[in-house]
Each structure stands twice: as structure tokens, then as C-alpha cells.
Amino acid sequence: MAGIRGGSDTHLEQERTLHDSIALALAIFPLFTVWLAGLGGAAAIYVAICYWKHPGSLVRRYGWRRHLAILFGVGEIGGFVFAIVVLLTRTAR
Amino acid sequence: MTANPYHRLPGGLRGFVRRNSAWQGEDHLLIVSGTRYHEQYQRVYYRDVLAITVQRTRRMTASWLWFVLVFYGFVFAITRRSFPLWGTLLLAAPAMAVGLQILFAFAFGCRLVVATAVGNVEVPGVMRTWDASRFLKNLAPLIADAQRWSVPPPVEEPPPVEEPQQ
């Protein structure tokens, strides 16, 4: 049972949570609602980095989702900051 | 990236949320079910397989591509007032996709079950007869190979015991 829970042996594992897919979803889905993009980007970066060492899928061995999630997250936060700066400078005039 | 010990077997559902697939391992079949964000694994070792049954039944599948096609057709239909020829053809595509899906579900739907000594395990990703036949074609040699040596050797007759002479 320890092997099943701890994931020490892949032959005993019964389930896995795909944190890379969660991070990518957190990065992409908030884009549809523009105002949530900054929050989603931050959450995506948090999940991608916090669960970086957690194993992904047993059958999918490539990790581009994590990298893409971080890329999207950084872009979204950058866009969010840029939008706030633009709004502040316009209201200050 | 490490080498993947599994090879994908025919069949599989890539739904909007749900995902099912089957993978061929070195000594076992790995059945993956769950969602985009969580996977559950079932392993069936080739040496334990007693039988594989394919049952014809109606099975509707809905991959994310169907959802996109239908959604696109719906949006196209409600945003257009007049339909040019190309628009009508484009609108017909999702309708044809849904029609084909229903036809496949009724004519070629199936359920594949692997029987073992401890119970039956359904392979949820195999939903069409052509997937089932390719699945069996891939798996049959592996099962035969794994079970080649599992038959115990014939028991030899013990030598007759001589009765002690009195």
C-alpha cells in the first residue's frame, strides 16, 4: 500500500493527477474572460513550479505542457501589468 | 524525458473532459481512464488473460473535435442571415459529422472485455469494431507468447512401487 500511495513503484500506481495539464488549463481558459487572465497566469505559474517534480502521466512522457503554462502565465501577467500601467497613466493625465 | 515503456493500442476516447486509452506494456496491458487532469490505471498481465470478448452494441462517442464542429456549425447558423453555397456546404459538415457518428454508433459500436481469473476488465477506449480487430491483432501474439510457458509440463507416471515381499 505504501508503494501505491507513495508512487515509489510505477507498477503499483493506480492513479495520477496531471498537474502539467492543470497548469496549462489555468493558463489558457482564463484567456476567454480577459479580466481573469492575470490571476489565471499567476495560478498557472504557481501550479507548474510547485508540482514541477511531481510525476506526470504514466504514458505521456513529454513535459512541454509545464513550459507552455509558464510561458503563457508570464505573458498574461506581463499583459495584465501593462494594461494597469496604461490605465494609470491615462487617468493621471 | 525518459523512454516510454508503453505503446499506444488502437482505440481511445479523447473527449472534451473524459479520456480513455489502452497501452501495450512489456508484460501487461495498461488501461488508462479518467479525465484530462486525472488518470486511473488498470493493469492486466498477459499471463492472466483467459479470454477476450467483443460484444456488438451501440456506443456513442463524442470527441472534442465533434464538439468543436457542432459548436462552429451552431454559431455559423445563428450569425448568418443568408446562406451562400459555400456557407451551406460548411454548415452541412457538422451535420454530416453528427450523422456519421450516429451511424458508426449503431453499425460498428462494440464493447471489448478482457476476462481474467479474478474478474472481467472492460477496455473503455475500444468502441468500434475496426478498433477491436486491430487491438486483438496487436495483443494476441503477446498473450500467446506470455502463456506459451505457463502450461505445466505433462506429469510423468511415478514408477511402480514394489510391494515388499513377505
Please give the pLDDT value at position A6. 47
- Output the furthest CA–CA distance in chain B (Å, rounded): 113
Chain position carrying cell 470527441? B63
pLDDT along chain B (166 residues), means of 10: 80 82 91 92 92 89 71 72 68 76 87 92 90 92 84 71 74
Cell numbers standing for residue A32? 476567454
| Smallest CA–CA distance from A60 into chain B, residue | B4
The model's confidence at residue A9, banded by pLDDT at 50, 70 and 90, is: low
Residue B164 pLDDT = 74
Segments in chain A forming alpha helices (H): 2-6, 19-28, 37-50, 64-92
Please name which of B25, B48, B17, B165 lies closest in space to residue A13, comparing C-alpha atoms.
B25
| Pick from A22, A59, A62: CB nearest B32 | A59
B6/A58 CB distance under 8 A: yes
Q: Are B111 and B55 in contact (CB under 8 A)?
A: yes
Best mutation target among A58, A62, A65, A66 (most B Cβ atoms within 10 Å) is: A58
Model confidence pLDDT, tens digit, residues A51-92: 988 888 888 877 888 999 999 999 999 999 999 999 899 887
Closest partner residue to A61 (CB to CB) among B1, B30, B40 is B1
B64 or A4, greater pLDDT: B64
* pLDDT digit string, tens, across residues A18-59: 999 999 999 998 888 877 888 899 999 999 999 988 888 888
Indicate whether A2 pLDDT > 50: no
